[in-house]
Structure 1
Amino acid sequence: MSGSNLSIPAARPVIGEAEIEAVVRVLRSGHVIQGPEVAAFEEEFSELVAGRSCVAVNSGTSALQLTLMALGIGPGDEVVVPSFSFAATANAVRLVGAEPVFADITPGTYCLDPLATAAVIGPRTAALMPVHLYGHPAAMDRLMPLADRHGLAVIEDACQAHDAALHGQPVGTFGQAGCFSFYPTKNMHTLEGGMISTADPQLARTLRLLRNQGMEQRYENEIVGANMRMTDVAAAVGREQLKQLPAWTERRRANAKVLDSRIEGLPVPQVADGARHVYHQYTVRVPDGRRDDVQQELARQSIGSAVYYPTPIHRLKPYQDPGRPPLPETDRAAAEVLSLPVHPTLGPGELERIAQAVNLAGGAR
């Protein structure tokens, strides 16, 4: 519930004068597709991922799909993913002809459970795709050794986790590649876009070929590729957003701390030891079937909220399989989660209103 009639929306994308001026500059330059702005954005974003090579693309979904393609994952392969995520996580796997295999989540962090992941690895498993959901890093310190033991690639879905880290190591730097999204409601955006980070120069080159019809030089196609380039307009927006990301991140974290201290009677987000949570979403749990009532009451008080995600991927029509083992933590989370406003434009009075409304709506007993 994040409509324009709400005085405190669930999300509030930021587009300032700096972004507008950057777009105008690019439009006047005449270099609007895969030009100097994209190259500069890739270089600047690499500082966020410990200097890894970065490849800009047109969406987070494209980032996931191209990475799978570049790693040679396709028909006959399986990729372990969480079902508690946006459908793009599994869609990218299907789009390359591979099959997503769903593993359950850890209830506190909503990320892949390493034990559940180990239980579904089989002879056809080619990769793990952990999701740093809501901006909380997955348990990479346990998933990476698991992948190494089985000789699996690791593709981090970091689409919601710009600037998150685990034990001081940035997300997007653990696996063979990390994939980021720049959709307007993300912690930073390019209007629409994505980024892939990798420490493998050959993988980076293959990704650049794949995003541009398989060619580095015009009309010299080396492989079969796609058109998934980022525009210079998007990159110019991203460069301005990237400058503000550190301050926005600290504001999100500070806002979350305030909400933690004010909300009563509902479980607030947990943060694992050593995790730097960047709060793309601030997600509480509303048990006992009361979630919809709480959400409706918040809306009556003009406060937005959202459910990410009401239907787990394994229950969506393209992925239904009656023979699949149950995912109890995933199903429980889908029935109870409710994300509250935490974006960096919130003021102290708005945070207080949110907490009071949540407590009145059903938190405090």
Structure 2
Amino acid sequence: MGTVELLRAAGVGSGDEVIVPSYATAGPAEAVRDVGARPVFADIDPYSFCLDPASVAGAVTSRTAAIVPVHLFGHPADLAALQAVADERGLRLIEHAPHESEPEPESDDAVLRRRAHAAYLDARLSGVVTPAVAPGAVHRYRSYVVRVPGNGRPDRDAFARALRGRGIGCRVPVQTPVHRLPAFRRELWLPETERAAGECLALPVQAGMSPRELHRLVAVCNALGGLLPVAAA
């Protein structure tokens, strides 16, 4: 079942509010709107990039009916903490079910290779902030998302242009937070969402990458890293 069907099965509809992340695709917010409910955006945890349970708790109102977390970039959302918020407030927790157009989970072998590539990058990259993994979480690394420290978007975008100019594929994983898209515009400030939108960059970590490709990725990134201030610990 997709998210729309799950929401309908839970009785969510007109007049209800559903808490979703803004730092994600628009899919969850669209699903909420499709059942006649109103999406309410909460902030993210700065390490996992998934919904922050504390922000979710602060966004609950008398009209809130459900919470829809998203497992982002291969890192799982903190379902235990989110379920605790839901139980305390009498809400439904409904995990976002990816649309048919979104990629299906890859084989365990592919995940193991990506995890090995991520470990290689973690140990060797400098000048960028490598992905964090919450204690007890299993990261699938569908995307290897780093932060480019500095003074915001121009630094990240300049870094990305320099990488592409040297033949390294990279992409901005979330171009615009959903709460700033015209269809869902809200006048609110989600500090961690805004910071991630300005700093994050997805580097290649495909299962089929060769050791030589990984070595070159590290060499190019580290050569550019000297141009950027290193983030404070």
Q: 1: distance between equivalents of 2:77 and 2:140?
A: 13
Q: Could you say what the CA RMSD is over the residues aligned between the two structures, in angstroms? A: 1.6
Contact 2:143 2:202 in 1 (8 A): yes
The structure-2 alpha-carbon separation of the partners of 1:271 and 1:250, relative to structure 1 and needing over 3 Å to count, comes to same
Query: Which residue is equivalent to 1:276?
Result: 138
User: Which residue of 2 is the match for residue 333 of structure 1?
Assistant: 196
CA distance in 1, matches of 2:10, 2:29: 16
Question: Greater Rg, structure 1 or structure 2?
Answer: 1
Q: Deviations over 1:31-71 (max 9, x none)?
A: xxxxxxxxxxxxxxxxxxxxxxxx5xxxxxxx111211222
Aligned-residue offset at 1:184: 6.7
**Distance apart, 1:361 and its partner CA:** 2.5
CA contact under 8 A between 1:263 and 1:363: conserved in structure 2? no
Partner in structure 2 of residue 344 of structure 1: 207
Q: Conserved in 2, the CA contact under 8 Å of 1:84 and 1:334?
A: yes
Displacement of 1:181 after TM fit? 5.0
Hey, what does 1:90 align to over in structure 2? 29
Tell me the SS of whatever aligns to 2:7. helix
CA distance in 2, matches of 1:131, 1:339: 18
Matches within 5 A, 1:273-352: 273-288=135-150, 289-322=154-187, 325-352=188-215
Match of 1:257 in 2: 119
- What is the Cα deviation at residue 89 of structure 1? 1.5
Task: Tell me the distance in 2 between the aligned counterparts of 1:348 and 1:103.
Answer: 39
After TM superposition, the structure 1 = structure 2 runs for residues 157-172 of structure 1, keeping only pairs within 5 Å, are 157=96
TM-score (norm 1): 0.59
Identity, % of aligned positions: 45
Match of 2:51 in 1: 112
For residue 318 of structure 1, what is the amino acid of its counterpart? A
Alpha-carbon distance change, 100 to 310 in structure 1, aligned in 2, over 3 angstroms: same
Deviation at 1:146, TM superposition (A): 1.0
Q: Is the 8 A contact 1:109 1:272 kept in 2?
A: yes
CA distance in 2, matches of 1:282, 1:342: 6
- Cα distance in 2 for partners of 1:285, 1:270 equals 11
Query: Where does the alignment leave 5 or more consecutive residues of structure 1 unmatched?
Result: 1-54, 56-62, 158-178, 189-244
Give the Cα separation in 2 of the matches to 1:275 and 1:86: 22
Gaps of 5+ in 2: 229-233
* Partner Cα separation in structure 2 for residue 316 and residue 361 of structure 1: 32
Deviations 1:203-226 (A, max 9, x none): xxxxxxxxxxxxxxxxxxxxxxxx
**Distance between the aligned counterparts of 1:186 and 1:258, measured in 2?**
25
Residues 247 and 181 of structure 1: CA distance in aligned 2, closer, same or farther (over 3 Å): farther
Q: Is the 8 A contact 1:64 1:92 kept in 2?
A: yes
